[in-house]
Amino acid sequence: MRRTGAMMRIRMDQDDPFERAGLPPAPPLWVSMGRMVLRLALIGVLVLAGYWAIDWVMRNEAAETWPVILGLILIYGFLISIPFLPGIEVGLGLLLMEGPDVAPLVWAGTVVGLSLAYCVGHFLPGRMLHTFFADLRMLRACQLVDRLDRLPPEDRLSWLRSRMPGWIAARLGTGRYVILGLAVNLPGSALIGGGGGIALTAGLSRLFRPGLVVLTFVIATSPVPIAVMIWGPQVADWLANRG
């Protein structure tokens, strides 16, 4: 029986796609599920609390005070940093509620949220990112993180360019910050994770400098808040109706 059990364990190890790819083995499924449940529960509680607070403010006109508005800006910044969450709708709602007065704060909250997502990807150790993707059984993502983590910074751009379509690869050098700014504003960006997902991917690549990324986000997210400051909240109403 012991011999049979040992042979089964060896066979399972050999069948592990992570080990076949030369990566550390994936954790047991029950461990991965437990960690993911805890992560999702924490994010879920924060998201629900944020949307509850926003709904409460919408229903209570007396609650529209600056301390509450500032709290909502912080919640908005957190929501927009999470890939695939509709944080932009919160920003448009705040612009509709307060108009030009709150536009600079919404602008700042957007930049902070996108920068937070970028920093998570940029500064988190490759080992932690590998563990996260391994829990999700995302082999290709683990391979990407492992490969980029091993390459020196000067070789990462060449490696990434070799795996991209020609028209993108040709602009991935000096124009990569322009591409990042345009991608954040693409109408279909929600399909690839929204602004938070794009910022996280930029951080994961380690190809963008933090200071220039923040400056890119400041410029890329400026049109709507500036338009609201000039023409009023009807700009946000028009954008919300188009979405």
CB 117 within 8 A of CB 84: no
Q: Where are the domains of the chain?
A: 29-242
Q: Which of 202, 201, 193, 185 is nearest to 84 (CA)?
A: 193
User: What pLDDT, on the 0 to 100 scale, is given for residue 165?
Assistant: 54
Q: Is the pLDDT of residue 212 over 90?
A: yes
Rounded Cα distance between 91 and 184, Å, is 15
Residue 51's pLDDT is: 65
Sign of the dihedral defined by the CA atoms of residues 167, 119, 188, 234, in that order: negative
Cα separation of 39 and 169, whole Å?
Answer: 35
d(CA 65, CA 61): 9
pLDDT digits (tens, 9 = 90+) for 53-82: 666 665 665 555 666 667 777 777 887 887
Q: What is the C-alpha R_g of the chain?
A: 22
| Of the candidate ranges 68-72, 111-115, 120-124, the one whose mean pLDDT is the lowest | 68-72
Longest dimension (CA), the chain: 78
Mean pLDDT of 8-28: 55
pLDDT bracket for residue 214 (50, 70, 90): very high
Residue 146: what pLDDT?
Answer: 75
For the cut 90, the answer to whether the pLDDT of residue 17 exceeds it is no
Q: Is 80 exceeded by the pLDDT of residue 39?
A: no
Mean pLDDT check: name the lowest of 19-23, 55-59, 145-149, 220-224: 19-23
Q: Contact at 8 Å (CB) between 161 and 150?
A: no
Residue 218 has pLDDT above 90, yes or no: yes
